[in-house]
Chains A and B, each alone.
Chain A
Amino acid sequence: MASILQVKHLKVSFRTSSGTVKAVRDISFDLERGKTLAVVGESGSGKSVTSKAILGILAGNSIVEGGEILYDGKDLLKISEEEMCKVRGDKISMIFQDPLSSLNPIVKIGRQITEAMLLKNKGNRKAARKDFNNTLALLKQAMIAAQGQDSAAKVEEMVKTFDTFCIEGIKLENSYNQAADVAESIISHTEDFLFAAGKKRVDVKAELREVSDKLKRLKDPFLTKGYDEKIAHMAAQLDQLRVGYREPAKKKGEETVFQLPQEIRTALEQVEAELKQMMEQTRPNFFRIGYYKLKNPNENLTAKPVEQLNEEALKCLDSNFMLEFRSMVEQGLRHSFQTALEKKQAVLPQLEELKVFYTTGELEKGSAHSRAKAANALVQDSIDKLEIVKDSAAYTFGMALENTIDRYFMAKVRNPQEEERYAKQSAKREALIAKGKTVDWKVVPKTVYDLDEMKGDIVRVVDNLIERYQAYIAAAGEVDFAARTVELIDYFKLKASQVVNVVTKTMARERAIKLMEEVGIPEPRIRYNQYPFEFSGGMRQRIVIAIALAADPDILICDEPTTALDVTIQAQILELINRLKEERNLSVIFITHDLGVVANMADDIAVMYAGKVVEYGTVEDIFYDPRHPYTWALLASMPDLDTKEKLDAIPGTPPNMVYPPVGDAFADRNKYAMKIDFEQQPPEFEVSPTHWAATWLLHPDAPKVEPPKIITDRIARMRKAEGENA
């Protein structure tokens, strides 16, 4: 499984008047595509800070002290705000805890949902064109290199053809899709109207006008082929009916059931039936047709039946162009891969050398930077640019290296200054106290960085890349170039469709209504024009989810989405998130303090305490075989339906993170704490390949302890229940 998002050694702290609060202290995890990672812990354990760091929305007084968040070849901690804008909300979306405070109270919810679609569209088109052109240029280079200089002209020609027909075809497709959207909206709109008309008073004239307007707009050479006359006729008929329609007079004080005139009902039903029939036609394959059109510019494409056109276009494309082009692309890819591989092999010893350089001896600023630059140039050169799944470690190598080096030298300068300041202030304070004065201010605690640890950070960046490269070289024999070719061509198609994809306001509206239906909001057409205060809690949360999904993200971060809701609504929202995850292959980071919710949602669980992950494992590991005392405490403090005995509340409160404890942060509240827990931080002890916990209890020399009875009982009960079911 490929991980889509990697968080590595993230450290975040906040400057406050009482000192630096270390909110997140060195956490790492991987999020896999299509999986849910649950982050569990008390408030103040740093779970929300982690998610905010991923989105780049940390508060102003935060300092990212180190680490990387790798996504799609970028380090989200180091890219500029402008680049971050392209990721935030578009690729990574977030659902916040309180639905009311994340909606704008004075903007109708329809506009709030469509906002992201409209804003993103323009930027996306430009970016897609750039991606398309860049990748095509790289491909051209690789192909020429693979075929030799002689065939350069031919390659040039073919790439140009590909470019032209790809875009042409997608343009046709786009117009088809837009028309299909309109048709679909007419169908669903009419259905809604006919349903509502029997129940309450409706505005018949407005409805007829809207449907006929939409019908007049409905025109596409492929979609409405053979239906154009019918559509025009139906539109005219609706207009006529509209002119002839008279509102039934309303008598005072009399409630009459509203009846829709039969001829209007029939006309609308006919529209619905005709359009449904039209939508069931075979869909033309526009990628092929684009080429066909390029070859036969004068032919009337719409004259032939769609099936026949599809067939002929495929034959034309394959025999004249595609087979040859595909084999050439494959060769190009192979060539590009080989060159990259050779370069990588050549770069490896240099990286080893670099590692030694950073590990041994005193670092000197100038040489450290120049070595980093030189190494980065080599590394960037060794990247296979035609890879679609980008290797983040290589792309961000230079930046990460520079960053850690900068930090190291900054700390080197800062540390003595900080020491001096601290000594001065303390001396002043003591002098004042000695004089017998009352001192009403405190000495700001000193923040001294550990230089060895910072050096370790530099080395780790290099180490990380070396590991990646070794793995890459080891797997070199297994690359399937045919599959990669298909992937690459699909990538071009995707980018081309993004280039021509224009989202207008009406389209965005239809899409938003569809989305609202998808998240389970009844009567979306009416709801679209309402304000947030007109919705109940569960409905508001659904709208927030719809907004988060509007830009079609890869990753969804849910920050306690159901904490404010009651059981039935909570169950509905969780089911909804699970369903959307399946349908859209979303990766979800689910933050909560309720372990009951997690059992249903998560694939993996990270239990956080005081800014650290204390236990990590699959959902079954954590619930059936918990190892860390904090996980025990969390599990024991919530009653389930069979709990009778007194609850094991966790005594006390989480530690003050201005002065993080020396040893295990949980030691103070832990009844299993040993002496070493107060002195040294526990390392991560592996329980199974998918499960580890940071507690000294797992050390071979530690005394054997049993989890609290309440948990062992529950696990026994769960196992028994399962045995009965099986």
Chain B
Amino acid sequence: MSNHDNQEVLLKVEHLCQYFKMGDSELKAVDDVSFEIHKGEVFGLVGESGCGKTTTGRSIIKIYDITSGSIYFKGQRICAGTRSYTDEIARCRKQLKALGSGDAAKKAELEQRIATAREEMRKAKYDHKHSDAEYAATLVEKIQQEYAPKLESAKGDSAKLAALKKQMAEEIRIARKSKLITNIQMIFQDPIASLDPRMTVREIIAEGLVINGIRDKEYIDQKVYEILETVGLVREHAGRYPHEFSGGQRQRIGIARAVIMNPDLLIADEPISALDVSIQAQVINLLNDLREKLGLTILFIAHDLSVVKYFSDRIGVMHFGKMVELASSEELFAHPMHPYTKSLLSAIPLPDPRSEKKRVRITYNPLAEHDYSVDKPSLREISPGHFVHCNDAEEKAYREELGL
């Protein structure tokens, strides 16, 4: 079930930073994370709680305004932060001040840098705010182009023309309301907390459609029934309330709600952590089926490594807001490079008592493992498709370890 050949990039995250204010200081929940998700693959994101994996997922879907970096979806920038540019401007200004009245050439260069940064920042702000509007505009244009020949041919027949015009107006209305971001949908961890107890299943699932401006009740019902059957529920369930369902069924409702919008990318934020073992298997099988049927791309966030290994094509390991290792799932488990990945892998409990009793857990102490005082680390490609967060010395050591 691998899709390695398909190299079309669906989502690109570049230098994503997400900081939260904590009194005077800032909490760097996600700090300079970059990765790409290809069309049709499952990208797993693992790490301890508090390492920023959920924040990454939420930043992608614009629940937070990101601090710095950019996120491209289908080639269009949907999120952009401005911190890196303001920092650049501040740096340049400080240098300018230090220069005083000397060196005109240097001064000009610095001023040029400030101007570029300003320009970039303006673009980023524009993209962040207007990406959806631009998407809607392209959609509208597309519809207009589509209808132009039809309208032309129906010119004589006034009744047909009126009907066509009405249809077009309706489609344009919906297109104006649609957003690029709705092509990304999210499944939440806790199925009980993420479903409104006062809405019926039909209302919950159809809410996205309604918000998007669809008014045709019959169409909505039809769509809801279809999706219910896709996720393994029956149409009678549409009239019930969430509390009448078991945990696994509730999670299916959550999945149905996400899938009805026909998304290209699904962000699954620990969808199985709160479920029973047997139900976990049901939900994973369901996600696998949907992926084949609908050609979904999935960003799978979890802390259960055996499940992530089973389900994902590529895996990114996060630790304290940094991406420390990124590789295909086989490669990651066969040749873990970063000490944190090793410690994480050593903590997986296995259903084998004899080896389990012999298992030694490796502890990870970042202060003792790395010396980053002089040589600064970054995410580097050690072997094709295998990235590790390391500095020059470590990179050399890792390469030797792999026999390269």
Task: List the one stretch of B73-81, B279-287, B392-400 in contact with chain A.
Answer: B279-287
Interface residue A42 (Cβ < 8 Å from any Cβ of B):
yes
Which of the residues B49, B306, B349 comes within 8 Å of A639, measured between beta carbons? B306
Chain A residues with CB below 8 A from B248, complex form: 653
| Shortest distance between the CB of B22 and any CB in chain A (Å) | 14
Chain A CB within 8 A of B305 CB: yes
Query: B354 touches which one: A575, A595, A620, A639 (CB < 8 A)?
Result: A620
Shortest Cβ distance from residue A42 to the other chain B in the assembled complex, whole angstroms: 5
> Which of A568, A594, A644, A646 contacts B277 (CB under 8 A)?
A594
Question: Once the chains bind, are A575 and B355 in contact (CB under 8 Å)?
Answer: no
Give the shortest distance, in Å, between B59 (CB) and chain A (any CB): 20
| Contact between B306 and A647, CB atoms less than 8 A apart | no
Interface string of A498-515 (1 = CB under 8 A from B): 000000000000000000
Instruction: Check B353 for interface membership: any CB of A closer than 8 A.
Output: yes
Instruction: State whether B347 touches A718 (Cβ < 8 A).
Output: no
Chain B residue at minimum C-beta to C-beta distance from A644: B310
Would A593 and B276 count as touching, CB distance under 8 A?
Answer: yes
Contacts of A725 in B (CB 8 A): 355, 358
Asked whether any CB of chain B lies closer than 8 Å to the CB of A633, the reply is yes
Taken residue by residue from 312 to 354, chain B's Cβ proximity to chain A (1 for < 8 Å, 0 otherwise) reads as: 0000000000000000000001000000000110011111111
B293 interfacial contact with A, CB 8 Å:
no
Question: Given the complex of chains A and B, what is the CA–CA distance between A637 and B349 in angstroms?
Answer: 15
A82 at the interface (CB under 8 A from B): no
Tell me, yes or no, whether B356 is within 8 Å of chain A by CB: yes
Smallest beta-carbon distance B315→chain A, Å: 12
Q: Does A282 contact B (CB under 8 A)?
A: no
Beta-carbon contacts under 8 Å, B260-309 to A: 276-282, 284-285, 288, 303-307, 309
**A648, B284: Cα distance in complex, Å:** 11
Separation of A571 and B350 alpha carbons in the complex (Å)? 11
* A641 close to B (CB within 8 Å): yes
Main secondary structure of the interface of A (DSSP, over half): helix
**Does A567 lie within 8 Å of B351, measured CB to CB?**
no
Are B344 and A599 in contact, CB atoms less than 8 angstroms apart? no
Given that A568-B343, A635-B351, A722-B354 are contacting pairs, would A643 and B310 also be in contact in the complex, using a CB cutoff of 8 Å?
A: yes
| Known contacts A566-B48, A568-B344: A638-B281 contact under CB 8 Å | yes
Contacts of B352 in A (CB 8 A): 599, 623, 714, 718, 721
CB within 8 Å of B: which A550-591 residues: 565-572, 574-575
Q: Which residue of B lies closest to A565 (CB)?
A: B49
CB–CB A647/B284 < 8 A: yes
Given A566-B49, A648-B281, A650-B281, answer yes or no on A640-B306 (Cβ-Cβ < 8 Å): yes
In the assembled complex, how far is the CB of residue B353 from the closest CB belonging to chain A, in whole angstroms? Answer: 4
Known contacts A566-B303, A599-B349: A718-B354 contact under CB 8 Å: yes
> Which of A42, A43, A595, A714 has the most chain B CB atoms closer than 10 A to its own CB?
A43
Which chain A residue shows the least CB distance to B352? Answer: A718
- Residues of B close to A635: CB separation below 8 A: 351
Query: B359 contacts the other chain (Cβ, under 8 Å)?
Result: yes
**Assembled-state Cα–Cα distance A235/B394 (Å):** 53
CB of A257 closer than 8 Å to a CB of B: no
Give the residue of A595, A600, A648, A718 whose beta carbon is less than 8 angstroms from that of B359: A600
Q: Is the CB of B278 within 8 A of A650?
A: yes
Least CB distance, A248 to chain B, in whole angstroms? 23
* Residue from A42, A567, A600, A644 with most neighbouring chain B CB atoms (10 Å): A567
| CB atoms of B357 and A600 under 8 A apart | yes
| Cβ-neighbour of A568 out of B48, B310, B357 (below 8 A) | B48
Query: Residue A640 contacts which of B246, B281, B351 (CB distance < 8 angstroms)?
Result: B351
Query: Complex Cα distance A570/B352, Å?
Result: 17
Q: Which interface residue of A574, A653, A721 has the most chain B CB atoms within 10 A?
A: A653
Q: A634 and B278: CB pair below 8 A?
A: yes
The answer to whether B356 touches A599, judged by C-beta atoms less than 8 angstroms apart, is yes
A73 interface residue, CB < 8 Å from B?
A: no
For B51, give the chain A residue with the smallest CB separation: A566
CA distance A594 to B272 in the complex (A): 13
Nearest residue, chain B, Cβ from A571: B347
Asked if A19 lies at the interface with its beta carbon under 8 angstroms from chain B, I say no
Determine the distance from Cα of A149 to Cα of B310 in the docked complex, in whole angstroms.
80
B50 contacts A by Cβ under 8 Å: yes
Asked if A597 CB lies within 8 Å of chain B CBs, one says yes
A649 at the A/B interface (Cβ < 8 Å)? yes
CA separation between A600 and B307, bound complex, in Å? 19
Q: Beyond the given A649-B281, A653-B246, could you list 9 further A-B residue pairs with CB under 8 A, ordered by the A residue number?
A: A537-B49, A595-B351, A596-B351, A599-B351, A599-B353, A599-B356, A600-B349, A600-B356, A650-B282
Can you show 21 pairs from A to B with CB atoms below 8 A apart? A567-B347, A571-B347, A593-B277, A594-B349, A596-B348, A598-B351, A599-B349, A599-B353, A600-B349, A600-B353, A600-B359, A637-B277, A637-B281, A638-B277, A638-B281, A639-B284, A646-B288, A649-B279, A649-B284, A649-B285, A718-B352
What are the nearest 3 A-B pairs in CB distance?
A596-B349, A639-B310, A637-B281
Binding site for A on B (CB under 8 A): 48-50, 246-248, 276-282, 284-285, 288, 303-307, 309-311, 333, 343-344, 347-359, 361
